[in-house]
Structure 1
């Protein structure tokens, strides 16, 4: 079928199905609820441990031929997939927005970044994948990168297309097969959208398996003996469990986890620009982003005025169904997450934080919220909220700001806003963070950059751009001689 006539985002394609290279019937089903309306959106197959076992076996068989496929043929699959996704971007973006509860601009952003990920994957098979090493005369010494085999990918609900594809695409590009378990709340955005474009682009059958399911399916994937690596993106508590289980089975594991990210606003900052940056970093996609601006460190001399302006902006941001009109914030993904956000705000106010704006909700629609007078020990200071809450913390000097930023187990993203780039760079050198943005907020990822955190934000690995070869392959040392030498034995 020509790519231009291949329809995407048609729910009947995957109704009650799983994907193993073909759309196959599943013994059980998952009903996906649209967060904004509370109504059923579509129904997909539900995978259990048995489906994972079958998928791993088939993926191992398919991977051998794929690794031996000429590089230009592998690259062509990703070129075609990128073109198809770009061609039908609006259709895919609308369904992603509905499934995730995001505004349409967020859905479009995911699709645009996914196109770049596919284009980047198309380049990888044609890149150098080794080195010639110095050695003794008469011996050629090489180090080359080889695929690991089958990569298990477990992805979250918040930016599911990007956070699945950033592992799926490079892992496939360098010769692996992939078994993908998307979050069961976002199976299209996190899995079936990828299956559709790669299937239409000619990816050989058996190389990609998409298995929405619960914790039992995830555990089966981590424990499967034919899966040498797990790439997990999600919460820190879940990441700790997966890391422990993967370590028990001696698997390579990439953990991209939560964050309690800080934005430092110096006294010389432009307040209007700072407020705009804070609002975006704290409220984009309802704050359900691992890089969200969770703590705002503001110099005490400007703290009151900045807080007033931020609260005014927060009260003006419209909240509602993204499909029904132009809104800035959509719904929280589900009631469990809503109650988590609400409890952190309520407990922090009870502990002495001041509620400057928001703190209310209508169903899953939680208003943009501003808390001031947030101090260490409060839940709003310590915990990842994963909701639209900006927490204001005043500081008196740069040393105090650095201490407050580093007073966390997390280490994902940080930003600094100052009229002095030199001062901001000097501050940044002292922060424990995987991502650092000078004169910008904390939510930034161009998908071709190394992305990763430390501490409770991850295990020190990075994904994206130059990090992908390191992530999804292993080194093999090869030596070549014209004939075997004599040895003194």
Structure 2
């Protein structure tokens, strides 16, 4: 595998000018993949200026010219699939199943975005003023700052990068320090090979303490896209708001699967295992709470336990592994403390609850409620909290009993009933007889409450990464009262 140690600024691979460094580690064995000299505030300034200059030329390209570069980009992503998957396994601790899922999602969003240049439509709207027409033009916003996450680094960075470029913007990416290659540098290399203009895409790998706030307060960018924790997202929103900058924030989730008394329990168990333990539960959409009707609770728990205890865990390089490592040791320690606290508060540890290195065994807690530690907050790890409820109304109340509202699930044999329950759950996304981890490139993706602002996907992403201008046109001249 290639070693990435440089920044990508104005079409050049350059050494970061900070005296600090970032160690890129394999989360399974803590081996250092590479040491990257960090970007400084000066490097960031160069990147934003390069993006602004390149964007002026890029926005004038014809839709066909932009599309052709996207088609080349798509071909490159397909040709380098195995390399991308291998990087996701090595750098992000992805199992092969998860890496394949992520690769496909990223390819889909790039492919969807390739159609955006011809979808930059305006409107002509009637006027109440005689002889006048109202024209609404759609334009790119300018320069977009993208902060990449470490959990689905390649896809979630591409989810902002691709529509931003396709709608005519320049981009500066600040990748996650845990995954600087898959959430930034590898995408920069692919964009370079695809033929995007020099300076249009830039990647600055740097510590948040050194360039984090400056990334948001810099005068050039018009909008910021961030996927990550609600705490960090709130800080980004505050800084952006002070400078009247737009944001797209996809933040944390405390997602619930509601299993009603008429559910197909076997199918619900299969969905719950995937929705909880894919990528060790390190997904904003992961199931955190399994809200199960008392009539099927015991059957569900028994079958869920059997399925979970059969999951192979360990080295993500092993294709049989379904549960790999957490991103870092401090995450393991945090969750183990949460398990202990939940048990002290009255929860029951049914299985798991221990770690082997950075691999936390798949864990189930029962006798839980919304006030116990690991049901109260987003876990971001392989721990499921099972909550017993007496009926549909209580299930909805439990599902809504959190400040988050990202995704969710309802299991019932009556689809129409499921839809009516789903309507009452305050969340941006929810799925009937499916698990919560779904992302389709052409569908609105985003959350309510503290789970974020804005929507990704399809026309919703196009709206987010563009602005509109009203130009009123008089055919003839207007008479004024003075």
Same fold (TM over 0.5): yes
Return the alpha-carbon distance in structure 2 between the equivalents of residues 194 and 76 of structure 1. 18
Of 212-221 and 133-142, deviating more is 133-142
Q: How does 1:23-62 map to 2 (within 5 A)?
A: 23-28=13-18, 29-62=21-54
Equivalence for 1:6: none
Q: Which residue of 1 aligns with 2:442?
A: 448
Within the alignment, does 1:104 sit opposite 2:88 as a pair?
no
Aligned residue for 2:172, secondary structure, equals: strand
| Residue number in structure 2 paired with 1:371 | 365
Select 1:11's aligned residue among 2, 7, 11: 2
The answer on 1:253 being equivalent to 2:227 is no
Cα distance in 1 for partners of 2:253, 2:199 equals: 35
Q: Does 1:291 align with 2:291?
A: no
**Kept after mapping to 1: 8 A contact 2:24/2:179:** yes
Name the CA distance, whole Å, in 2 between partners of 1:231 and 1:81.
21
Q: Which segment drifts farther, 111-120 or 66-75?
A: 111-120
Q: Which residue of 2 aligns with 1:179?
A: 172
**CA deviation after TM superposition for structure 1 residue 58, in Å:** 1.5
For the pair 1:140 / 2:133, whether they are aligned, the reply is: yes
Distance 2:138 2:54 in 1: 19
CA shift, 1:108, in A, is: 2.0
Deviation at 1:272, TM superposition (A): 1.6
Cα offset for 1:231?
A: 0.9
User: Is 2:81 the counterpart of 1:89?
Assistant: yes
- Taking structure 1 as the reference length, the TM-score comes to 0.95
Displacement of 1:301 after TM fit? 1.5
Instruction: State the number of aligned residues.
Output: 478
Once the two structures are superposed, residues 143-170 of structure 1 have per-residue CA deviations (whole angstroms, 9 ceiling, x without a partner) of 1111111111112100011111111111
Match of 1:479 among 463, 472, 475: 472
Take 1:310 and 1:48, find their aligned partners in 2: how far apart are those partners? 49
Counterpart of 2:155 in structure 1 is: 162
Residues 46 and 213, structure 1, Cα contact 8 Å, conserved in 2:
yes
Matches within 5 A, 1:381-400: 381-400=375-394
Structure 1, 319-328 or 332-341: larger mean CA deviation: 319-328
**Structure 2 CA distance for aligned equivalents of residues 165 and 129 of structure 1:** 23
Which whole-Å deviations, capped at 9, do the CAs of 1:29-85 have from their partners, x for residues lacking one? 422100112101233342222211111112111111111111111111111101111
Runs of 4+ more than 3 Å apart: 16-20, 481-489
CA contact (8 A) 1:154 1:218 kept: no
Q: Distance in 2 between matches of 1:309 and 1:488?
A: 79
* Residues 161-196 of structure 1: CA deviation (Å, up to 9, x unaligned): 111111111111111101111101101110112111
**Contact 2:106–2:156 (Cα < 8 Å) also in 1:** no
C-alpha distance in structure 1 between counterparts of 2:100 and 2:35, whole Å: 23
- In the TM superposition, residue 362 of structure 1 has moved relative to its aligned partner by 0.8
CA contact (8 A) 1:262 1:294 kept: yes
- Report deviation, 1:481: 3.3
Preserved CA contact (<8 Å) 2:140 2:169: yes
* Structure 2: unaligned runs, 5 residues or longer: none
**Local SS of the residue matching 1:451:** coil
CA RMSD of aligned residues (A): 1.4
Q: TM-score, normalised by structure 2?
A: 0.96
